[in-house]
Structure 1
């Protein structure tokens, strides 16, 4: 539970800082920062996979995950769901609604692999390292998102 509480507090702090900066972060820096965070996430995933001793489990899990994901077309379904929500809650004047920030941040903070694996790791073994690592990534991304998408990011 500690890891989740830390993550929530960090996202609230990051969002608060982002809302104070409100458009104060140049778009070029925001884009590059998000790409850098993506690379960090890839590194974390690959390094975890490579140091594992059960390579066979990794391969079988990857194959099963691909079959399930492609079979149910989860990527398309998630994108369609997000688009429907965005259309439903977007404002007519083109400005960003609270719901748009909430949806974007929820998809990032709540459904990622680090969220699921980190929570399982914390619950099963008491190891909070992945959730603390995720908290650092979420702190930075919540600042960037909240500076453009507003309070919906914090509410997520």
Structure 2
């Protein structure tokens, strides 16, 4: 898992440098950086949806997944639990920054295909590229939200580790169709996060995270029974 470890280290380095910058930044610069991250998240979300939606073999699946996932997430109330947890470490807007970091770092083609290629072919190219991108992004986020952004490295390690282990033991399960559906839903969640950061609409994007679990479940059942 060299590629994943490299990716996580880049986030830690970026968060450290960004947190040092944070102490010297005036509030107006922090505000404009926050807005920049909001626009970036919106753009990345739109790009993911427009790129993968035309490739979908199940054009209604992402709608059903979002509906079911949102109900499950709201029942568990992931957003509130997450904010309470982060609140133990910071009284500032860290929860919003950390949720943004987690979505940006985890929900993307490089972060999903990377550990799969690493496991099956020993190719770390995707993860090294992703690590450099995440390092820069974490620097910018930490310059606004502080060093707490580094916590996203733990989530990223677990996320990529999940796909790494799944690729080793369930190679046939990691189909292009599954990756496409996950990318569509991920793009929508990143877009929603961007709107929240910009203050346009306060959306509970974290409560919709269970939607990412619906495509694997559906495609597995479809493979078994059809």
Question: Is the structural similarity TM-score above 0.5?
Answer: yes
Matches within 5 A, 1:75-86: 77-85=77-85
Moved more, 69-78 or 38-47: 69-78
Q: d(CA) in 2 for partners of 1:113 and 1:64?
A: 23
Q: d(CA) in 1 for partners of 2:81 and 2:142?
A: 22
> Does 1:54 pair with 2:61?
no
Q: Which runs of 5+ in 2 are unaligned?
A: 119-125, 153-226
Q: Which runs of 5+ in 1 are unaligned?
A: 90-98
Indicate the RMSD between aligned Cα atoms, in angstroms. 3.3
> For this pair of structures, how many residues does the alignment match?
139
TM-score (structure 1 length as normaliser): 0.65
Which string of whole-angstrom CA distances, capped at 9 and with x for unpartnered residues, describes residues 64-119 of structure 1? 232123222449812210343356x3xxxxxxxxx228x73653433x16404443
Matches within 5 A, 1:96-111: 99-100=89-90, 104=95, 106-110=98-102
Bigger RCO of structures 1 and 2 (CA < 8 A, at least 6 apart) = 1
Corresponding residue number in structure 2 for 1:65: 65
TM-score (structure 2 length as normaliser): 0.48
Q: Secondary structure in 2 aligned to 1:136?
A: helix
Q: In structure 2, do the counterparts of structure 1 residues 83 and 41 end up closer, same or farther at CA, with 3 Å as the change threshold?
A: closer
Q: In structure 2, do the counterparts of structure 1 residues 50 and 2 end up closer, same or farther at CA, with 3 Å as the change threshold?
A: farther
> Does 1:35 pair with 2:26?
no
Q: Secondary structure in 1 aligned to 2:79?
A: helix
1:3 is displaced (CA, Å) by 4.7
1:130 is displaced (CA, Å) by 4.9
1:143 is displaced (CA, Å) by 2.7
Q: Retained in 1: the 8 A contact 2:7–2:130?
A: no
Q: Retained in 1: the 8 A contact 2:14–2:136?
A: no
Q: Retained in 1: the 8 A contact 2:142–2:148?
A: no
Q: Retained in 2: the 8 A contact 1:7–1:131?
A: yes
